[in-house]
Amino acid sequence: MMAFLNIVILFVTIVLMEALSWAMHKYLFHGPLWFIHKTHHQEKHDWFELNDLFSIGFAAFALWLMWAGHTSLDYRFWIGTGISIYGSIYFIFHDWFIHNRFKAFKSSNWYLAGIRRAHKIHHKSMRKSPSEEFGLLVASKKWFKN
Ligand SMILES: [Zn+2]
Ligand SMILES: [Zn+2]
C-alpha cells in the first residue's frame, strides 16, 4: 500500500510541476521577475543565462526534500524525486531539444514537434507581454497538427 501511495505522490508531483511552472512563468516570470526571465527572451544568449537560476533553485529545493526524506523514504523523498524527474524532462525538452543548447537533438515526433512549435510561439515575443503558451509539456492542441 505504501509503495502504491508513493507512486501516486510521484506522478501527482510531476503533473503539479507542469501546472506550477505554467503559473510561475505566466504570473511571476512575465510579471515581477521579468528582470531575470528576460535573459531567456533576448535575441542573443550567453551560454549561462540569469534565468537558469530558476532551474538551479528548483533543483536545490528537490535535493533538499530528497535529503530530508531519505532515511524513511517518506513523502518528502518522493516529492523531491518527482520534482527532479520533471526538471530532467524540462531540461531535455526545453534546453536541449527546443533551444539546442547542446549538440542538436532532432525529432519529428508529433508531440515533440508540437511542444516545440508552441514554445517558439512563446519566444516570438521578446517583451514581458503580450505572450502566450506558458506551459511546456502541455500546449494548445492547435500546435499539434502535421
Ligand atoms: Zn517566457
Ligand atoms: Zn524557452
Distance from residue 66's CA to the centre of ligand 1 (Å): 28
- Count of the separate structural domains present in the chain: 1
Distance from residue 55's CA to the centre of ligand 1 (Å): 14
CA dist., res. 137 & res. 92, Å (int):
11
pLDDT at residue 146 above 80? no
Per-residue pLDDT, averaged over 67-93, amounts to 97
The ligand whose atoms approach the alpha carbon of 27 most closely is 1
Per-residue pLDDT, averaged over 114-119, amounts to 96
**Under the phi-then-psi rule, with left for phi > 0, alpha for psi from -120 to 50, and beta for the rest, what region is 128?**
alpha
**Cα end-to-end span (Å), the chain:** 43
pLDDT at residue 52 above 70? yes
pLDDT at residue 91 above 80? yes
Per-residue pLDDT, averaged over 107-128, amounts to 93
The ligand whose atoms approach the alpha carbon of 120 most closely is 2
CA dist., res. 137 & res. 126, Å (int):
21
Instruction: Output DSSP code: residue 141.
Output: G
pLDDT at residue 72 above 90? yes
The pTM score is 0.93
Confidence of residue 44 (pLDDT cuts 50, 70, 90): confident
Q: How far from 62 is each of 83, 106, 125, CA to CA, in Å?
A: 6, 29, 31
pLDDT at residue 138 above 70? yes
Domain that holds residue 81: 2-143
The ligand whose atoms approach the alpha carbon of 49 most closely is 2
Query: What type of residue sits at position 52?
Result: D
- Work out the mean pLDDT of the chain and round it to a whole number: 94
pLDDT at residue 43, as a whole number: 79
pLDDT at residue 10 above 80? yes
pLDDT at residue 46, as a whole number: 78
CB-CB contact of 37 with 106 (8 Å)? no
